[in-house]
Amino acid sequence: MRNISMLKWLGLSLVALVLDQASKLLIDSTMQLYQSIPLLPFFKLTYVHNTGAAFSFLSEAGGWQRWFFAGLALVISVVIAVWLSRLEKHETLLAVALSLILGGAVGNLIDRLAYGYVIDFLDVYYGTWHWPAFNIADSAITLGVVLMLAESFGLGKTKDEEEL
């Protein structure tokens, strides 16, 4: 049975999507490719294009990965939207997690379809060690996955729900 009221969480997906796309447009319009702007001793804005998946996985694969990852994001987005519609009202934490993942997946999907790459710009580092550059969509996906894992370990559940 579908619970249409849980689709209200698509609003959170939309917030993540709008923040992601607005930040990418701002970076693209104000920075040059590969330009870096130091902000903190461990963080800077660095404008890069990522043709691969997370952490530039398969970025040198020759182009087929654009359509593969776009198709994968589309399928995952549909699955998450259906999953959201089937959640029970008390499954709030899982709804938040899925909504963040959905917003992030669609944000990166838009980039892939529009440009053939994903715009990344958040650069965290320590000394010469750099975490691969990422964006708001990646952050939403990561936070969503963390919340989903926390929910699977019982966070956000009442005692009655844990006994089921």
Average pLDDT across the chain, whole number: 87
Question: Average pLDDT, stretch 108-131?
Answer: 93
92's tokens: 């709030």
**pLDDT at residue number 19:** 98
Answer yes or no: is 162 within a domain.
no
Containing structural domain, residue 128: 4-39+52-155
Answer yes or no: is 160 within a domain.
no
Beta carbons within 10 angstroms of residue 101's beta carbon = 25
Answer yes or no: is 21 within a domain.
yes
Residue 139, helix vs strand vs coil = helix
Q: How many domains does the chain have?
A: 1
What are the tens digits of pLDDT across the range 57-116?
555 555 566 677 778 888 989 999 999 999 998 899 999 999 999 999 999 999 988 998
Question: Average pLDDT, stretch 9-14?
Answer: 95
5's tokens: 């009221």
The more confidently predicted of residues 109 and 37 is 37
Answer yes or no: is 44 within a domain.
no
87's tokens: 């959640």
The more confidently predicted of residues 157 and 55 is 157
**pLDDT at residue number 56:** 52
Give catalytic residues, as residue numbers. 120, 138
Answer yes or no: is 163 within a domain.
no
Answer yes or no: is 46 within a domain.
no
Q: Where are the alpha helices (DSSP H) in 31-130?
A: 64-85, 92-115
- 163 — pLDDT class (breaks 50, 70, 90): low
Answer yes or no: is 141 within a domain.
yes
The more confidently predicted of residues 105 and 161 is 105
CB-count burial class (<10 Å; 0-12, 13-18, 19+) for 63: exposed
Answer yes or no: is 161 within a domain.
no
